[in-house]
Amino acid sequence: MAHGSDLGRTVLALDDIDRAILAALSADGRLAVRALAERLHISRTNAYARLDRLISEGVITGFGAQIDPRRAGLGTSAYILITVEQTSWRTMSAELREIPYVEHVSLVGGDFDILLLVRTPDNASLRDVVLERLQALDGVRSTRTWLIFEEQAGAAPRV
């Protein structure tokens, strides 16, 4: 069987070098492959091959800058919990991702169906997202908004 295609497996099997690559790139996404190879004591060819495999198998989904939302003009952040009609999640998920300022959309279990992370410039923009855009979607039964007063980064995911 091909690497990572074991029947019934939901995650790719990673070895210590793969995990070291992910840790190094999580700490510095601009790390050159040459520097990555030197840091991990592997050849550049091996580093390129592993990096290509991690990208092609969807383990690494992209590279980007980590942005401070407040300094970028998005000073109001909130988690918004949404209860929806059970048949509307599939059509609604695409609509939610298109709403300006919605950073993250999650289908969750429990008292609510959807959890959004929303970052807006101000309270008026947040009000527009909740009252004008979210509550106007077909299938939304209710929303609950939790303002975020302060955020702290946690430990990076361990792989």
| Domain 16-57 coded CATH 1.10.10.10 | yes
> What is the rounded CA–CA span in Å between residue 27 and residue 157?
11
Which pair of structure tokens corresponds to residue 157?
A: 């995911």
Reading the block at residue 46, the tokens are 């091996």
Q: Are 38 and 47 in contact (CB under 8 A)?
A: no
**pLDDT recorded at residue 155:** 77
For residues 12 and 59, the answer to whether their CB atoms sit within 8 Å is yes
pLDDT tens track, the chain, 159 positions:
344 444 555 667 899 999 999 999 988 999 999 999 999 999 999 999 999 999 999 999 998 888 899 999 999 999 999 999 988 877 888 899 999 999 999 999 999 999 999 999 999 999 999 999 999 999 999 999 999 999 988 876 666
Residue 65, Cβ neighbours under 10 Å: how many?
6
pLDDT of residue 157: 63
Query: 83 with 116: CB under 8 angstroms?
Result: no
The pLDDT mean for the chain works out to 90
69-148 has which CATH code? 3.30.70.920
According to the model, what pLDDT value does residue 44 have?
Answer: 97
pLDDT attached to residue 93:
87
Question: What are the boundaries of each domain within the chain?
Answer: 16-57, 69-148
Q: Please name every residue paired with 82 in a beta bridge, in sequence order, or none if there are none.
A: 114, 143
CB-CB contact of 101 with 120 (8 Å):
yes
